[in-house]
């Protein structure tokens, strides 16, 4: 039997709320974890220094996919400074599961990718 944290991670990986593509993205980035094969493509709409919308496409393990979706939900409405200040510990708290060092890299890949995305702009 799964606990609620495990159920959340599995649900977010199987049924992402922020999966897909944005036609009007202003920022995007790709990230990969070479050690396990996780890949993520992240698209953002940034206006006036705030994230207005986010979508991700992942080919990854369950914890990476769930992390991407939970991070995307958190990002909407936040400033770019808020994203820069988000700590790895806060991402771990979103997942709320014990993580090995290898799994921690999976969970943090979406945050690293988001930080790369805000350094780029298509406008």
Between CA 69 and CA 48 the distance in angstroms is: 23
The pLDDT of residue 3 is: 83
Over range 37-63, report the average pLDDT: 97
Is the domain spanning 4-117 CATH 3.90.1010.10? The answer is yes
- CA 14 to centroid of chain Cα atoms: 15
pLDDT exceeds 60 at position 123: no
Cα–Cα nearest to 56, from 33, 45, 72: 72
Question: Taking 50 as the threshold, does the pLDDT of residue 31 lie above it?
Answer: yes
User: Which three-class secondary structure state does DSSP give residue 107?
Assistant: helix
- Sheet holding 50-59: strands in order across? 27-33, 38-47, 50-59
Q: Tell me the average pLDDT of the chain.
A: 94
**Using CA atoms, how far apart are residues 28 and 15, in angstroms rounded to an integer?**
22
CB atoms within 10 A of CB 1: 4
């Amino acid at each position: 039997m799964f606990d609620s944290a495990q159920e959340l991670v599995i649900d977010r990986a199987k049924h992402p709320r922020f999966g897909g593509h944005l036609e009007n993205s202003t920022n995007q980035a790709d990230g990969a974890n070479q050690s396990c094969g996780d890949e993520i493509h992240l698209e953002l709409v940034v206006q006036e220094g705030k994230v207005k919308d986010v979508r991700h496409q992942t080919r990854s393990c369950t914890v990476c996919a769930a992390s991407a979706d939970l991070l995307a939900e958190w990002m909407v409405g936040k400033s770019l400074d808020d994203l820069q200040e988000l700590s790895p510990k806060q991402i771990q708290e979103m997942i709320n599961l014990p993580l090995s060092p290898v799994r921690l890299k999976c969970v943090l890949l979406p945050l690293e990718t988001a930080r790369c995305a805000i350094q780029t702009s298509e406008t």
